[in-house]
């Protein structure tokens, strides 16, 4: 059994909810060291999760402890410097989403990791929900024909996370976070849609604005609407906000021969199952994709299924197993990538391209039109103050 020595930098909410417990479950890994600028937090996380060492400065941690991998779960503005330091120390990295705030920061992380030959994965956990993985498998297997139009939304009030879960107020501070609806919740939606479409974004247009909260609360955007055109010609829309008290999240994939819905984080009023698939293809009982075979109910009313020589066309509601959860699967996957030298599912390039979309929307707000990707200059989101580069 491998012994992957891990560290976590930033022991706040997502480390506590996702990363510490997921690492704790893995036999092939152990938490060796933690780091947080808040000394009490670093100490208490180390004690709670059994880390041998704790630090308040990641540079000292990289100097003193020999780590195989680190999870960077600190605020957005420090992702770049910490990830580059990790790469320079020869440590494999998971960086929480968004990979960075500006497109230049993001590509600097990618380059540093490539140059150092370390693995880089972005913490876009939506790709590790079983519903989304099955949607991807069905799309790739052709169950809904040509995917031409899709949308991903994530609507959730500031207060939900900020008042009940977050350890610090960094999300409200635009100088540090560099945005909210667009690069916090939007980071998930942009990544998910791009992955499901299996194509890069060619150009984008959209808006990101603060509509709901007063300036005294935050300067960050709370409303974001984005249209993307993919290189393969398909279109997608992304809709995120930070003012809906009822959390709702949905992904809808419209193909020429079917439609798939997934909802992984919340219940929508029209939804009784977390996933639903309709295919118009003439599948027989034998050719029906296994996922649909397993979840059609009644399991097989054979007369109905042979009467037209193909199975009856109807919505198939699907409730995939909950365990292992998305974060457990993400951690297991990253460790497997290290041990067996595989490419991570959410690559650094994927993360950087998602940041490009976010930055392109700020550009689009200035020009009022479509913005082509890749960007040709660094885009610094409104109010964001990039910290001085350490390396």
Ligand X SMILES: NC(=O)c1ccc[n+]([C@@H]2O[C@H](COP(=O)([O-])OP(=O)(O)OC[C@H]3O[C@@H](n4cnc5c(N)ncnc54)[C@H](O)[C@@H]3O)[C@@H](O)[C@H]2O)c1
From candidates 19, 80, 97, 329, binder to ligand X by CB under 6 A: 97
Q: What residues contact residue 358 under an 8 Å CB cut-off, 6+ apart?
A: 98, 179, 182, 183, 186, 187, 190, 381
Which of 128, 137, 145, 142 lies closest to 294, judged by CA? 137
Among 12, 186, 236, 289, binds ligand X (CB under 6 A): 12
- Minimum separation from the CB atom of position 192 to ligand X (A): 12
Q: Return the residue of 24, 38, 332, 336 that touches ligand X, per CB under 6 A.
A: 38
Using CB under 6 A as the binding rule, whether residue 305 contacts ligand X is answered as: no
Of 34-42, 149-157, 196-204, 308-316, the segment contacting ligand X by CB under 6 A is 34-42
* 54 belongs to the binding site for ligand X (CB under 6 A): no
Tell me the angle at which helices 79-88 and 103-116 cross, rounded to the nearest 10 degrees: 10
CB of 135 to ligand X, least distance (A): 19
The phi and psi torsions of 144 (rounded to 5 degrees) equal: -115, 20
Q: What is the DSSP letter of 127?
A: G
The answer to the question of residue 11 lying near ligand X (CB under 6 A) is yes
Applying CB under 6 A, which part among 68-76, 226-234, 294-302, 311-319 lies near ligand X? 68-76
From the list 20, 129, 170, 384, which residue makes contact with ligand X (rule: CB under 6 A)?
Answer: 170
In the complex, minimum distance from the CB of residue 229 to ligand X, in angstroms, rounded to a whole number: 26
61 or 113: CB nearest ligand X: 61
SS3 (DSSP) at 228: strand
Cβ proximity to ligand X: between 230 and 327 the closer is: 327
Residues in contact with 205: Cβ distance below 8 Å, sequence separation at least 6, in sequence order: 226, 227, 361, 364, 369, 370, 371
Residues 225-264 that bind ligand X (CB under 6 A): none
Tell whether residue 167 is a contact of ligand X (CB under 6 A).
yes
Measured CA to CA, the distance from residue 48 to residue 52 in angstroms comes to 11
Closest to ligand X by CB, 171 vs 296, is 171
Q: In the complex, which residue's CB is closest to ligand X?
A: 12
According to the binding rule CB under 6 A, does residue 125 interact with ligand X? yes
Interacting residues with ligand X between 71 and 90 (CB under 6 A): 73-76, 78
- C-beta closer to ligand X: residue 102 or 279: 102
Applying CB under 6 A, does 178 fall inside the site for ligand X? no
- In angstroms, give the least distance from the CB of 94 to ligand X: 10
Distance (Å, rounded) from C-alpha 351 to C-alpha 140? Answer: 22
Is 123 a binder of ligand X (CB under 6 A)? Answer: yes
Smaller CB separation from ligand X, 199 or 325? 325
Farthest CA pair distance, the chain = 70
Q: Position of tokens 């949607």?
A: 135
Smallest separation (angstroms) from ligand X to the CB of 239:
17
- Work out whether 168 is an interface residue with ligand X (CB under 6 A): yes
Q: Residue 226: CB partners within 8 Å, gap ≥ 6?
A: 182, 186, 190, 204, 205, 206, 208, 237, 238, 239, 357, 361
Query: Residue 259 contacts by C-beta under 8 Å, 6 or more apart in sequence?
Result: 144, 252, 253, 277, 278
Three-state DSSP at 229 gives strand
Among 41, 92, 103, 133, indicate the residue that binds ligand X (CB under 6 A): 41
**What is the layout of strands, in order, in the sheet containing 53-55?**
53-55, 29-35, 4-9, 69-72, 92-95, 120-122
User: Which among 4-12, 202-210, 219-227, 241-249 is the span making contact with ligand X, rule CB under 6 A?
Assistant: 4-12
Q: Is 380 in the site for ligand X (CB under 6 A)?
A: no
Q: Which residue lies nearer to ligand X by CB, 179 or 206?
A: 179
Residue of 62, 73, 69 lying closest to 7 (CA atoms): 69
Closest CA to 348 of 26, 150, 108, 155: 108
Q: Which is nearer to ligand X, 167 or 333 (CB)?
A: 167
Q: What's 368's DSSP letter?
A: S
Backbone angles phi, psi at 272, to 5 degrees: -110, -15
Does the protein bind ligand X through residue 9 (CB under 6 A)?
A: yes
Which tokens belong to 281?
Answer: 């293809």
Footprint of ligand X (CB under 6 A): 9-15, 35-38, 41, 58, 73-76, 78, 96-97, 123, 125, 166-168, 170, 184
């Amino acid at each position: 059994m491998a012994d992957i020595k891990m560290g976590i930098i930033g022991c706040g909410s997502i480390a506590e909810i996702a990363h510490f417990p997921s690492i704790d479950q893995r036999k092939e890994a152990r938490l060796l060291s933690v780091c947080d600028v808040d000394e009490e937090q670093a100490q208490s996380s180390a004690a709670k999760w059994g880390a041998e060492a704790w630090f308040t400065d990641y540079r000292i941690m990289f100097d003193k402890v020999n780590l195989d991998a680190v999870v960077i779960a600190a605020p957005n503005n420090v992702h770049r410097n910490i990830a580059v330091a990790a790469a320079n120390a020869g440590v494999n990295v998971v960086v929480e989403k968004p990979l960075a705030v500006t497109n230049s920061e993001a590509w600097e992380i990618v380059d540093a990791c490539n140059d150092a030959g370390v693995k880089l994965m972005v913490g876009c956990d939506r790709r590790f929900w079983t519903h989304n993985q099955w949607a991807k498998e069905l799309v790739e297997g052709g169950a809904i024909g040509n995917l031409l139009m899709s949308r991903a939304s994530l609507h959730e009030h500031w207060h939900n996370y900020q008042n009940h879960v977050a350890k610090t107020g960094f999300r409200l501070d635009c100088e540090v976070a560099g945005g909210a609806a667009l690069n916090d919740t939007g980071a998930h939606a942009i990544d998910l849609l791009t992955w499901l479409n299996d194509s890069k974004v060619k150009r984008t247009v959209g808006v990101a604005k603060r509509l709901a909260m007063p300036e005294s609360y935050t300067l960050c955007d709370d409303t974001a609407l984005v249209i993307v055109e993919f290189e393969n010609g398909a279109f997608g829309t992304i809709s995120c906000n930070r003012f809906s008290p009822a959390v709702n999240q949905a992904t809808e994939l419209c193909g020429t021969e079917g439609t798939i819905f997934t909802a992984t984080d919340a219940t929508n009023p029209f939804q009784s199952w977390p996933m639903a698939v309709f295919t118009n293809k003439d599948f027989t009982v034998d050719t029906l994709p296994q996922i649909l075979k397993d979840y059609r109910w009644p399991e097989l009313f054979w007369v109905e299924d042979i009467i037209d020589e193909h199975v009856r066309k109807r919505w198939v509601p699907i409730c995939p197993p909950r365990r292992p959860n998305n974060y457990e699967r993400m951690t297991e996957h990253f460790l497997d990538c290290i041990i067996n030298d595989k490419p991570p599912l959410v690559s650094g390039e994927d993360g950087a391209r998602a940041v490009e979309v976010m930055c392109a929307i700020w550009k689009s707000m200035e020009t009022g039109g479509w913005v082509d990707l890749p960007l040709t200059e660094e885009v610094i989101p409104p109010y964001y103050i990039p910290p001085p580069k350490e390396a």
